[in-house]
Structure 1
C-alpha cells in the first residue's frame, strides 16, 4: 500500500483537518458529474450529439437576450473549428432547428437563428427540469444566496484559469536491496 504524504488524511487528502471544504468540493464534483450525465442523456433523448445541443442552447440563450449569433461566435464558444461549425450548422439547418440569415450590419456575414420548432422542442423537454432546479435554488435561505453565488463564481474562475499544470513525472525506481 502506498503511504500518503504526512499532511494528507485519507478522508480529506490535501484539504486539511476541517472536513467542510472537502464536503463542499465533493458536492460540487457530484453536481458536475450529474450535470455532464444529464447533458449526455438530454442530447441522446433529443437524437442529437452534445455539441449540437449546446450550440442550440447558445443560440436560444442569445436570442432571449436580444443578441444574434454568428457561426464564428459558435466556434469560439464551443471550441471547435470553423469547418466543424459549418457541419454543425448544416446539420441543425437540415433538421429544422436553425436557419441562416444575412447579418444585420455586415453584408458579407451570416447569423444563425433558432426556429420556432427548436424553441418549442427545447422548452418542452427542459422546462420541467428547469422548474425543479429553480425550486431547489428557491429553497436556499435568502441570506445564504450571496455566499452560494460567490462560491460558484469563484470556483468558475478557478476552473477557467488557463495556467498549465505540470506533467506527471516518472517515479524513482527502487535500487537493488531497497524494499
Structure 2
C-alpha cells in the first residue's frame, strides 16, 4: 500500500504496519511530516484518534518491554528520532491468525520508519545504538493498574533479540519479572 506521502509495508502480523513517510532533502538537510491524520487514514484505512505522546531516552542494550494494558488497551504509532532500536510486537489476540507470533523491525533516525502497533499486542524494543530516543503516540491513556509484561525471553514466544554473544540486556525489575506465555492474560 502507498499514497504519495506514505509507503506502507505489511508484516507477518497483517495489521502491524511499517510506515515510511516521504522525506524531502537537499544540501541543507531534510523535512518530513511525522504524522498527518488524513494521509495516515488514506494510506492505512484506519481512522485513529491519538490521545497521548510519549518520549523515552535509553542507552545501548536497554530492553524495554514486552508491555501491554489489559484495560485502556492502547494502539501505538512508534518511531525513533535519535539512534536505532529493534522494535518488537507479539500478537496476544486469541482470534487472530497470527496469535502468539512476533515481528521485529529496525527503526532508526536514519530510516525514518514507523510502526503501527494495534491494540492487543505486547510491545517492546532493544536499543542498538549508543543511545536512542523513542517516540510513540497512543490511542488511549496510560493506565498503570492494568499494565502487564510478557517475559522478554519467554521460550514459547522465542523472540530473536539481536544481542551480541555474551551481552545481556539492561532491563528494570518490572521487565525482569515479566510473565511467561502460559501465565500471561490474552485478549
Answer whether TM exceeds 0.5 for this pair: no
- Tell me the TM-score normalized by structure 2: 0.20
User: Higher Cα Rg: structure 1 or 2?
Assistant: 1
Higher relative contact order (CA 8 A, sep 6+): 2
